[in-house]
Amino acid sequence: MASLRSAKILFCWGFLLQRWLLLVDSAIGVNWGTVSSHRLPPPVVVDLLKANKIGKVKLFGADPDVLRALRGSGIEVMVGIPNELLGVLASSATASDLWVSQNVTRYMGKGGADIRYVAVGNEPFLSSYQGQYQSLVLPAMLNIQQSLARVNLAGYTKVVIPCNADAYQSASVPSEGMFRPELTQIMTQLVSFLNSNGSPFVVNIYPFLSLYQSADFPQDYAFFEGSSHPVVDGQNVYYNAFDGNYDTLVAALNKIGYGQMPIAIGEVGWPTEGASYANITAAWTFNQGLINHVLSGKGTPLRPGIPPVDVYIFSLLDEEQKSTLPGNFERHWGIYSFDGQAKYNLNLGSGNALLKNAKNVPYLPSRWCVINPMQDPTAVTNHMKLACSVADCTTLYYGGSCNAIGDKGNISYAFNSYYQLQKQDSRSCNFDGLGMITFLDPSISECRFLVGISDSSCSCVGCGVCCALWIMAFWVVIYLRVMNSL
């Protein structure tokens, strides 16, 4: 009996050590967004994650193809619920049960996806929403929690709420941090719930946006290499914006009685083009500095030796169909280009010194659409506007990698972007006779003329739009079923 007991103890310690090592290896995760018309097949992306030993991935929805591809991968998954669904989930336990059944339990079980978190909404307290979702978050969260409990998953799959950093504020220094006055009550209730269920507080922090939005923001303070403009807060000195922002949240949590609340970083990163300071050098400097800082275990002045429980880099891949209202950089956050090719070398601290590229990418044939040199380009303006109104031309503008390729280069880039979006339909390269198809790569220096990706599951223009419409229709059906059952 004693030997059996010793064997059990050794097994338990071995299991715990294995889990600890896994957590160390997978401390840095990524956001996997799919707002693109050139979507890599999900199995290719999962293989890319595994090749780079990325053990955590955060999704903005619950795409069936993505979750099927993640089955058996060993990757810890956070699935997301869009803000648009908070209303029906807040008002109906039936809808909540159905959502959990369709998007969580269906993919779990032996050999299934390892879904660790359900993110209820995405930055629902953002000030620009003007309180639109404020009253819906807690009821939706409670319903999802109860739905998870009914299928015996509440102890394993945790409910979280990704918050934007504008949920809290400070007059001058981090120690004065507090939640926005109109959010204090709801944040107290929210954090109490998260704490009682063992869930972390998830926050998105973007030093790049602080630099982008303010001409007075010290550039070196945005990075992790020290600053000539540190923030002095009593005995604490802050040399980077990340630590300052993080500790502002710690102070805000402390003021509502939860100063020891675990914190996870849901989004943090740096774009590679589309604005001043958005370039490959700056993106590498920030992301590598962040990774080194987090994995050092150093923590922050208010939480020394206690780094975030999870950190999800934003993002894995570029998404060329995202809105450019925040800025052209919005489509260029990826550490990889849309086709899974690394933009720069990055050590994620998981054992690989460099990023590995995606394999088995199903590219379309190697052909491009460019301006016909025999035609008069003076009548091209309207055609360029048409192409760029649908396809992505942000690399042509200020801060873009194709900004200096000349007028004919600009025209050809726009034509080709549209042509690839249309899956190389020959008719899409006509442009009233101004376009022509070439088999010679027209890329110029760092300006890459893309070749699209074949996607048999959604061959219409704008795969992301097509699939989004399908999902919308799916939820309309669910909503009607729920309403009929009430």
Write out pLDDT tens, residues 7-42. Answer: 333 433 433 333 333 333 337 999 999 999 999 999
- Return the DSSP state at 260: T
The domain 22-331 is placed in CATH, from the list 3.20.20.80, 3.40.190.100, 3.40.50.720, 1.10.10.10, at 3.20.20.80
Round to whole Å and give the CA distance between 402 and 273. Answer: 10
State the CB neighbour count (10 A cutoff) for residue 237.
12
Round to whole Å and give the CA distance between 398 and 387. Answer: 18
Higher pLDDT, 218 or 378: 218
Rounded to the nearest integer, the mean pLDDT of the chain is: 90
Round to whole Å and give the CA distance between 134 and 138. Answer: 8
List the catalytic residue out of 76, 84, 123, 320.
123
Residue 5 pLDDT grade (very low, low, confident, very high; cuts 50, 70, 90): very low
Residue 415 pLDDT grade (very low, low, confident, very high; cuts 50, 70, 90): very high
Round to whole Å and give the CA distance between 44 and 362. Answer: 9
Count the residues in the chain.
Answer: 486
Round to whole Å and give the CA distance between 371 and 408. Answer: 7
Residue 485 has pLDDT above 70, yes or no: no
Round to whole Å and give the CA distance between 288 and 282. Answer: 10
Higher pLDDT, 461 or 383: 383
List the catalytic residue out of 76, 84, 176, 267.
267
Round to whole Å and give the CA distance between 52 and 28. Answer: 11
Query: Is-contact 117 57, C-beta < 8 A?
Result: no
CA 256, 260, 262, 266 dihedral sign is positive
193-202 residue pLDDT tens: 999 999 999 9
184-193 residue pLDDT tens: 999 999 999 9
Considering only 46-55, 163-172, 328-337, 466-475, which range has the smallest mean pLDDT? Answer: 466-475
Task: Report the pLDDT value the prediction gives residue 378, as an integer from 0 to 100.
Answer: 81
Task: Report the pLDDT value the prediction gives residue 456, as an integer from 0 to 100.
Answer: 60
Round to whole Å and give the CA distance between 474 and 479. Answer: 9
Query: Is-contact 201 251, C-beta < 8 A?
Result: no
Task: Report the pLDDT value the prediction gives residue 160, as an integer from 0 to 100.
Answer: 98
Round to whole Å and give the CA distance between 123 and 203. Answer: 9
User: Quick check: is 267 catalytic?
Assistant: yes
Task: Report the pLDDT value the prediction gives residue 171, as an integer from 0 to 100.
Answer: 83
Higher pLDDT, 293 or 458: 293
| Mean pLDDT on 74-99 | 98
Contacts of 3 by beta carbon, 8 Å cutoff, 6+ apart = none
pTM of the predicted protein model: 0.89
3-class secondary structure, 137 = helix
User: Quick check: is 123 catalytic?
Assistant: yes
Higher pLDDT, 278 or 18: 278
417-452 residue pLDDT tens: 999 999 999 999 999 999 999 999 999 989 999 999
Residue 406 pLDDT grade (very low, low, confident, very high; cuts 50, 70, 90): very high
Closest CA to 242 of 306, 180, 289: 289
The CA angle 78-28-163, to the nearest 5 degrees, is 50
Q: Which residues of 83-102 are buried (b: 16+ CB within 10 A; e: fewer)?
A: bebbbbbbbbbbbbbbbbee
Residue 465 pLDDT grade (very low, low, confident, very high; cuts 50, 70, 90): very low
What token pair was written down for 470? 């399908």
Task: Report the pLDDT value the prediction gives residue 484, as an integer from 0 to 100.
Answer: 52
Query: Is-contact 311 202, C-beta < 8 A?
Result: no
Higher pLDDT, 80 or 6: 80
Q: Which residues of 27-65 are buried (b: 16+ CB within 10 A; e: fewer)?
A: bbbbbbbbbbbbbbbbebbbbbbeebebbbbbbbbbbbe
Round to whole Å and give the CA distance between 442 and 236. Answer: 54
In sequence order, what DSSP letters do the residues of 357-414 get, joined into one string? PP-S--BPPS-EEEE-TTS-GGG-HHHHHHHHHHS--GGGSTTSTTTTSHHHHHHHHH
Contacts of 310 by beta carbon, 8 Å cutoff, 6+ apart = 27, 29, 56, 200, 264, 265
3-class secondary structure, 453 = strand
Task: Report the pLDDT value the prediction gives residue 6, as an integer from 0 to 100.
Answer: 42
Task: Report the pLDDT value the prediction gives residue 11, as an integer from 0 to 100.
Answer: 36
Q: How far is CA 347 from CA 167, 292, 315, 462, in A?
A: 31, 9, 15, 33
Domain residue ranges in the chain: 22-331, 368-452
Residue 289 pLDDT grade (very low, low, confident, very high; cuts 50, 70, 90): very high
